[in-house]
Amino acid sequence: MAMMKKTLIVLAVSICLGFSNDNPQNDTFCRKGVNSLATEKMLVLLFCQQYAPDYVPMLESSYSSPNSWSRTVGGVPTPANFNANDKNDVIAEFETIIHESTHHKNTRDGIYLGPNKYLLFTDAEKNDVIAEFETIIHESTHHKNTRDGIYLGPNKYLLFTVAEKNDVQYFYKSELIAEFLPIDAEEKIFRFETYIGEGSIVSANLSGIFGLMDEYSAYQNGCSAALVAYDNALQEKDTTLAITFFKDALATYYAYYEFNSFIGAYLKYGKTKEPIIYQKIMNNSTLRRAYSINTIEFEKAIATINSQSNRLKSNYKLVKSSLEYYKTKYEVYAKSCMTSFQPELTNFKLN
């Protein structure tokens, strides 16, 4: 069966291994000079054949190498340095290899549930996934974001330090920043009432700038994923599907301007009225790095949206009116608000 574009369907696959407490001997894993992906995969398959043989077929078709994963601790990238020659490395990473390889196995066609268990979607079910794809990525990002860290995109996850996590409790509600936004912002910014309106019960209000960053990350990931799906659909020459994904991105891209306005106003409020908390925010390097990376990725998505007329050629007319509508109705005003907070936003960035 041909593999189609991947969607974010999260399945946790846990495998209980019956290892002893003794240090394992590296017997067949002691061969030197192993560095190719093919050889790494072979060694992992040999290990799997010995301890969890039913999972060998899945790894053969969908292997995910630990060296392809990106890990960060306290905002600092940490290389995997996975060595399949070292049996200790394979033991340490085996459960996660199964987990990540399951993501590779899951596609729009079906879901892998375990050895000899693969469920195929009907055409109607696949269409439901298409219709909700951008929202699935958005909401799944919320699930991934916790007080421990923030998900910024594939292989990008930043972990907060203990001190940074403790500071979240001091952040003031986002609804307080309304006085730093234009008087007509509540009426003209589409997402104002939902996220920073007085009495709003969502995290973007209750958890202050942490909640705003959670939402900013979710909108960025949803928009970016829709554009990746759009690109893959075009490469497969499925223009109808590509246009569907592109329109999904159009419906959310302007959240970039809205949340930059909210974050900018939040920072200005803190600097003016809550200087101690403002300093805690500025000392939170992980939060600042999350903002910087999300912003870069969001700007890439917007650049893609604004540069597709030549690629789509005659089909551009299918999206042109929608893009013009969103620009006029939502982007222009939110962008003007964001511009007024440019000093605060620039100062908040951390490269």
> What is the per-residue pLDDT across 226-268, written as a single tens digit (0 to 9) for each?
999 999 999 999 999 999 999 999 999 999 999 999 999 999 9
Quick one: pLDDT at residue 75? 58
Quick one: pLDDT at residue 74? 57
Task: Name which of 82-91, 117-126, 223-232 the model is least confident about.
Answer: 117-126
> What is the per-residue pLDDT across 124-172, written as a single tens digit (0 to 9) for each?
776 777 788 888 899 999 888 988 999 999 888 999 999 998 888 899 9
Quick one: pLDDT at residue 72? 63
Once rounded to an integer, what is the mean pLDDT over residues 214-224?
95
Quick one: pLDDT at residue 340? 96
Dihedral sign for Cα atoms in the order 334, 337, 343, 345 = negative
Angle at 97 between CA 93 and CA 98, to 5 degrees: 125
Please tell me the pTM assigned to this model: 0.67
Residue with tokens 């554009």: 227
Task: Give the start-to-end residue ranges of the domains of the chain.
Answer: 27-121, 129-348
DSSP characters for 46-79? HHHHHH-GGGHHHHHHH---GGG--EEETTEEE-
> What is the per-residue pLDDT across 321-332, written as a single tens digit (0 to 9) for each?
999 999 999 999
Element (H, E) at 90: helix 87-105
Q: Which residues contact 106 (CB under 8 A, 6 or more apart)?
A: 6, 7, 9, 11, 112
Q: Is 88 helix (H, G, I), strand (E, B) or coil?
A: helix
- The mean pLDDT value of the chain amounts to 86
**Contact (CB, 8 A) for 26 and 87:** yes
> What is the per-residue pLDDT across 308-325, written as a single tens digit (0 to 9) for each?
999 999 999 999 999 999
